[in-house]
Structure 1
Amino acid sequence: MPTNDKPINGQHRPNSILDLPELPPAIEDKPRLARLRTAWKESWEEGGFLYQRWEELLKARHAGWHEIANWIKATGLLVGISLIVMMVDTAGDITSAALKGLSTVPDSPTGDGNGLWGTVDHPIRVFFAQQAAHLTVAPAALYAFWQLAGLLGLIGGFFGNAGARITWVLFGCGSLAMIWSASPAGGRAAATGIAALMWALASIFALRGLTLRPIVHNHPPQFQPQFNPALHLHATLPGPAPAGDDFDDEDDNIHPLQR
């Protein structure tokens, strides 16, 4: 079979694809773990991605809100919102469990009303027993809720919480009204008076630091600059005449006075 072996531009032209020059072998890729290790080291070098993020974290401790990096602000807001959602969800579960527990409290006896504390506690139990007959809740649940409200008002008021102090005031007024309503007619005034004294003594702790006197803040007067108007006149006086100068010889400088 004839072949066409004529050179082209001084070079031999191959007749088939088998005569093509062999390509150099491909460079084998580095293992993936080695590439990841190299990228990790480069990111921590000066100017790398992780190095810059770490510098921004260090600067955020002493920088203001407007100087903090945006990704730190976004992360902080996301974490804060997540914590708030978790706390609200947990508080809802705790409140629901507490209300269910109060609704299933077994009935307790109203007591015999003996003693100083029985004089105050027995009318409240009787009042709850009378009112629970017209409600779908047990008297013990109402009594437990009344105790819980008083305890929260006492503790919260001691730490200066305004809502807890309002709760404590309403708790005391409601207790006095219940004692007055459920106490025997002959000892109603005495039972209500003893309850009022007990509530007043407990208010020493619940309303600690509360005063009805207006708070007056005496601040020293601020410095006010004084303004003293003054009028300054600038007059230019002629200088002394030079020695030996005779004005009589200069007729041009003499002008008659005109009226």
Structure 2
Amino acid sequence: MAKNNDRTPHIPNRRQEPPATEPTEPKEPRLAALREWWDAAWDNGGVLHTRWEELRRAPALGWHGMANWIKAVLGLAGICTVIILLDGATDALADAMRRLLSAAPRVEIGADTSNTVFAVVDQPIRTYIAAHTASLPISASTIYTVWQVVGLFGLIGGFLRSSGARLTWTAWGAASIAMVYSTTPADGRTIATGLAALAWTAASALALRGLTLRPSLFIHNTAPGIELRPEIHVPAPVAPPAEGTPDNVHPLQKR
């Protein structure tokens, strides 16, 4: 009978027990945590309390003193309002411009619009536009309407001190006077051109208001207590050297 040489001790199977864990505390409900944060935010120095105080003091502090986040909100609201208004007014403006251009008065060569003083200037312009728009893809009526709109833009923009509008007004007036001079018959050319120049000059009192041709001198004095006086300094004459004294000897060395 064979002997069993395996001397490995027999270890009985033991059931593995899970590691012991520390007892966990019950989690705080979310509603209670939210209520605690809300109360802390409205205490003195809290986030919501500080924002409310800044918003309450904003009318008294004005634009420069109010908080930056209020300025950002107001600026964003203003931009959104402008975008909404522009989006709603785009169709209405396009329709109005279409009606304005289609309803422009018909320009005919040699057709007298009226017998007033205004016709002395207006009729040569109408005739000039009608005579030089035959080869253009748009009608003479549209060109005449655009000419009126540009003049109105230059007058209103110049009154509001816009440099670009004033340049437009100047070019518009010079072109109008040139059209009147070119189209008016020779016997009345001088009178018509003079009336056009006078009318444009009178309207320029509004379009070019505040504009002066007098040169201005601006002196920026940054240091207080400094007074500028125009003075002329004449150097004192140098006395001739005394007799018997060499010319190369300094006067202080003379004894």
User: Which TM-score band applies after superposition, normalised by the shorter structure?
Assistant: 0.5 to 0.7
1:13-32 to structure 2, matched below 5 A, reads none
Aligned partner of 2:158 in structure 1 is 157
Q: Report the identity percentage.
A: 41
Relative distance call for 1:65 and 1:155 in structure 2 (3 A) is closer
User: Following TM superposition, by how much is the alpha carbon of 1:194 offset from its aligned partner in structure 2, in angstroms?
Assistant: 1.5
The secondary structure found in structure 2 opposite 1:132 is: coil
Matched, 1:142 2:143: yes
The amino acid that maps onto 2:48 is L
5+ residue gaps, structure 1, are: 1-28, 225-259
CA contact (8 A) 2:158 2:208 kept: yes
The secondary structure found in structure 1 opposite 2:169 is: helix
CA contact (8 A) 1:107 1:139 kept: no
Aligned partner of 1:50 in structure 2 is 48
User: What CA distance in whole angstroms lies between the structure 1 residues aligned with 2:62 and 2:156?
Assistant: 39
User: What CA distance in whole angstroms lies between the structure 1 residues aligned with 2:36 and 2:95?
Assistant: 55
Q: Report the number of matched residues.
A: 197
CA contact (8 A) 2:153 2:165 kept: yes
Moved more, 169-178 or 55-64: 55-64
User: Following TM superposition, by how much is the alpha carbon of 1:167 offset from its aligned partner in structure 2, in angstroms?
Assistant: 1.7
Residue by residue over 1:98-156, the C-alpha shift from the partner in whole angstroms, topping out at 9 and shown as x without a partner, is 54334322543555263321111101111222233222323222222222222222222
CA contact (8 A) 2:107 2:140 kept: no
User: Following TM superposition, by how much is the alpha carbon of 1:176 offset from its aligned partner in structure 2, in angstroms?
Assistant: 1.0
Matched, 1:108 2:109: no
User: Following TM superposition, by how much is the alpha carbon of 1:82 offset from its aligned partner in structure 2, in angstroms?
Assistant: 3.2
Relative distance call for 1:84 and 1:106 in structure 2 (3 A) is closer
Please report the RMSD computed on the Cα atoms of aligned residues, expressed in angstroms: 4.3
The amino acid that maps onto 1:154 is L
User: Following TM superposition, by how much is the alpha carbon of 1:162 offset from its aligned partner in structure 2, in angstroms?
Assistant: 1.8
The amino acid that maps onto 2:103 is V
Relative distance call for 1:63 and 1:101 in structure 2 (3 A) is closer
CA contact (8 A) 1:172 1:199 kept: yes
CA contact (8 A) 1:103 1:137 kept: no
User: What CA distance in whole angstroms lies between the structure 1 residues aligned with 2:43 and 2:119?
Assistant: 77
Aligned partner of 1:167 in structure 2 is 168
Matched, 1:194 2:195: yes
Relative distance call for 1:86 and 1:169 in structure 2 (3 A) is farther
Q: TM-score, normalising length from structure 2?
A: 0.58
User: What CA distance in whole angstroms lies between the structure 2 residues aligned with 1:94 and 1:182?
Assistant: 38
CA contact (8 A) 1:158 1:207 kept: yes
The secondary structure found in structure 2 opposite 1:211 is: coil
Relative distance call for 1:165 and 1:95 in structure 2 (3 A) is farther
CA contact (8 A) 2:107 2:127 kept: no
